């Protein structure tokens, strides 16, 4: 049951798929939060030392965050809080299953 769902998908199948997709989005949120925290600290250390080396880890990690985001947001679409995402995914999967 990848991107095209068949007519026999059960409610538990839809729930499992929706939760997996939302888990991917929540993983990206966690990745972004850690990115901001760590790179803010590195920028502070960099500025305190009078140098500007913190841009290099930020660019490297930023590229990883971008690729993670492309995989999650473009492949799955949408965004928002976890409960709303689960409800949206379930609705989308139900419509797909019904052929709408």
Q: Is the pLDDT of residue 37 over 80?
A: yes
72 belongs to a structural domain: yes
51 belongs to a structural domain: yes
Q: Is the pLDDT of residue 79 over 70?
A: no
5 belongs to a structural domain: no
1 belongs to a structural domain: no
DSSP three-state, residue 67: helix
33 belongs to a structural domain: yes
54 belongs to a structural domain: yes
**Where is average pLDDT lowest: 10-14, 33-37, 63-67?**
10-14
42 belongs to a structural domain: yes
CB 32 within 8 A of CB 13: no
- Work out how many domains the chain is built from and give that number: 1
Range of the domain at 52: 11-98
pLDDT above 90 coverage of the chain, percent: 42
> How far is it, in rounded angstroms, from Cα 14 to Cα 9?
7
DSSP state of 18: H
Read off the pTM.
Answer: 0.64
DSSP three-state, residue 9: coil
70 belongs to a structural domain: yes
């Amino acid at each position: 049951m990848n991107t095209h769902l068949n007519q026999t998908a059960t409610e538990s199948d839809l729930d499992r798929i929706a939760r997996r997709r939302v888990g991917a989005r929540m993983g990206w949120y966690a990745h972004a939060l850690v990115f901001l925290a760590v790179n803010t600290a590195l920028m502070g250390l960099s500025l305190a030392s009078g140098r500007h080396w913190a841009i290099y880890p930020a660019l490297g990690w930023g590229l990883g965050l971008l690729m993670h985001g492309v995989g999650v947001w473009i492949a799955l679409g949408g965004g928002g809080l976890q409960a709303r995402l689960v409800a949206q995914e379930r609705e989308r999967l139900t419509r797909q299953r019904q052929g709408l």
